Amino acid sequence: MLRLIFSSNENQCIFVKKNTLEGIEVNAKDCFVFWGHTVPFEILKIANQHKVKILRLEDGFIRSVGLGSDLIPPLSLVADQSGMYFDSSKPSDLEELLQRHSFSNNELSRAKEVHRMIVRNKITKYNIEPNRTVSWNTLNKVAVLVVGQVENDASILAGAKGRVRTNLELLKAAHEMHPDAFIVYKPHPDVHMNNRKGYINPKQIYLYANHTEINASIISCIEASDFIHTITSLSGFDGLLRQKKVFVHGDPFYAGWGLTIDLGLSEQCRQRRTRKLSITELIAGALIKYPLYWDWNTKKITTCEATVLSITKYSRNIHLDINRSRSRIIFLKRKFNKFMMLFKIYLGHL
């Protein structure tokens, strides 16, 4: 995938380890590409010496049907030369785009169509959970959705600068703001699937929440909620797409533009993000202009619209049953699929 995206000749895209960089021949026409937002010292040293361009890679905002931690290949990537969208310590290409770009009529028209497609087909980043009508007994109270995250994820470590930095702290903050509301806690799928850090003991959850939702999709939860509380989760962006009131306790890319209630936005973000955006402009920047979309069938770069259609068709043909009676079977199936993906990578088929 990377060979084809970043080079017209796959032999010009070379994979190297950090400890083998010493003595490598580079020139100003070359480019270092690496995963994540922190530039390895070895790359930074050589890049500065030879004035080589640096690109940071991460998953795009519409990624796949399945989790990255289960080695499901991504359908979109972002390649950022300035920083990374979740690291608020410095501007990213996305932030500069949202702050300065004058969106054309064509870009805004495409953004409106993408917005319509996403909402109608209930698309989000991973698209792994069943979309079903939730059955919360809210007793006519305001429904507040608290979205859990992976606590050692880079988006938390680099984008949570305020007092709320953990899932439990987020639950407490939401309860303090809405003491009479019906509060629903939605754990992150990676945490719920035992892949990542962020677990909260149920006894602690129910000190602040009325219900924990693990069966319905994040989109179903958003649609059933009045307010959403998050630190930096993409679910806040999903909420904005569905016209929900979103309370943000960190520095996600969609905060600071006049669309969210910013409770933990850092001062540096407030100083850099001075423009007021419409939801259509935010979509045009974050979903159309910023990411690269990849079609694994044609092995070519594609569009946001085509990717949304592909995910819609694929996810409709998948029956994801997370009933407790089958949880062990599904866990073993996920582990088997992960093993097969590693085997394909080893054979060079991906």
Whether residue 271 is found in the same domain as residue 303:
no
How far is residue 281's CA from residue 98's CA, in Å, rounded to a whole number? Answer: 8
What pLDDT digit, counting tens, does each position of 23-38 carry?
Answer: 778 888 888 898 888 8
Q: Which residues fall within 8 angstroms of residue 33, CB to CB, at 6 or more apart?
A: 2, 6, 54, 55, 57, 79
What angle, 0 to 180 degrees and rounded to 10, lies between the N-to-C axes of helices 304-316 and 105-121?
A: 10
Question: The tokens of 39 are what?
Answer: 């530039």
Question: Does residue 116 lie in a domain region?
Answer: no
* pLDDT tens readout for residues 222-239: 999 999 999 999 999 999
Q: Is residue 287 one of the residues assigned to a domain?
A: no
Higher pLDDT, 182 or 39: 182
Report which secondary-structure segment, H or E, holds 77.
Answer: strand 76-80
Residue range 215-226: average pLDDT? 94
Specify the CATH number for the domain of residue 154. Answer: 3.40.50
Where b means 16+ CB within 10 Å and e means fewer, 221-241 reads: bbbbbebbbbbbbbbbbbbbb
Q: Is the pLDDT assigned to residue 11 strictly greater than 70?
A: no
- Does residue 15 form part of some domain? yes
The answer on pLDDT for 265 being more than 90 is: yes
Through-space distance between the first and last CA atoms of the chain, rounded to whole angstroms: 7
Same-domain check for residues 210 and 251: yes
For residue 102, count other CB atoms closer than 10 A to its CB: 6
Could you tell me which residues come within 8 angstroms of residue 329 by beta carbon, excluding any fewer than 6 positions away? Answer: none
Considering the domain architecture, whether residues 82 and 177 belong to the same structural domain is answered as no
Residue 31 lies in a domain: yes
What pLDDT is stored for residue 310 in this prediction?
Answer: 93
Residue 285 gets which letter from DSSP?
Answer: I
Q: 347 in helix, strand or coil? A: helix
From edge to edge, which strands make up the β-sheet containing 76-80? 31-35, 53-59, 76-80, 292-295, 300-302
For the residues 148-158, what does the mean pLDDT come to? 91
Per the domain annotation, does 49 fall within a domain?
A: yes
In the numeric block, which tokens belong to residue 114? 């993408």
Instruction: Examine the domain organization and report whether 98 and 132 are in the same domain.
Output: no
User: What's the token pair of residue 152?
Assistant: 């050692």
- Residue 51 covered by a domain: yes
Residue pLDDT, tens place only, 112-145:
999 999 999 999 998 877 788 898 999 899 999 9
Q: Last residue of some domain: 254, 278, 302?
A: 278
- Check whether residue 148 and residue 225 sit in a common domain: yes
- What 57-61 contacts at long range (C-beta under 8 Å, 24+ apart), as own/partner pairs, is 57/33, 58/84, 58/85, 58/86, 59/125, 60/290, 60/291, 60/292, 60/293, 61/125, 61/234, 61/237, 61/286, 61/287, 61/291
Q: Does residue 250 register a pLDDT over 80?
A: yes
- Whether residue 149 is found in the same domain as residue 264: yes
Do 147 and 269 belong to one domain?
Answer: yes
- How far is 223 from 160, CA to CA, in rounded Å? 26
Residue 247 lies in a domain: yes
| Residue 346 or 326, more confident | 346
How big is the CA angle at 277 (ends 274 and 279), to the nearest 5 degrees?
A: 150
- What would the pLDDT profile of 40-96 be if each residue is shown by its tens digit? 888 888 888 888 899 999 999 999 988 765 668 899 999 999 999 999 999 999 999
Specify whether 21 is located in the same domain as 92: yes
Residues 170 and 219 in one domain: yes
Residues 256 and 305 in one domain: no
Res. 346 pLDDT band, cuts 50 70 90? low
Spell out the SS3 assignment of 85-138.
CCCCCCCCHHHHHHHHCCCCHHHHHHHHHHHHHHHHHCCCCCCCCCCCCCCCCC
Q: State the pLDDT confidence band at 327, using cuts at 50, 70 and 90.
A: very low
Instruction: Answer with the one of 232, 249, 278 that is the final residue of a domain.
Output: 278
| pLDDT reported for residue 313 | 87
**Could you tell me which residue, 212 or 347, shows the higher pLDDT?**
212
40 in a structural domain: yes
Return the SS3 of 53: strand
Q: Which of 229, 246, 278 is the last residue of a domain?
A: 278
Task: Verify that 159 and 191 share a domain, yes or no.
Answer: yes
Cα angle 200, 204, 208; round to 5: 110
Both 272 and 298 in one domain: the answer is no
Q: What's the number of domains the chain is made of?
A: 2
Domain that holds residue 6: 2-102+294-347
Residues in CB range of 266: below 8 A, 6 or more apart: 88, 161, 162, 251
Indicate the range of 165-169, 190-194, 263-267 predicted with least confidence. Answer: 190-194
How far apart (Å, rounded) are the C-alpha atoms in residues 31 and 178? 49
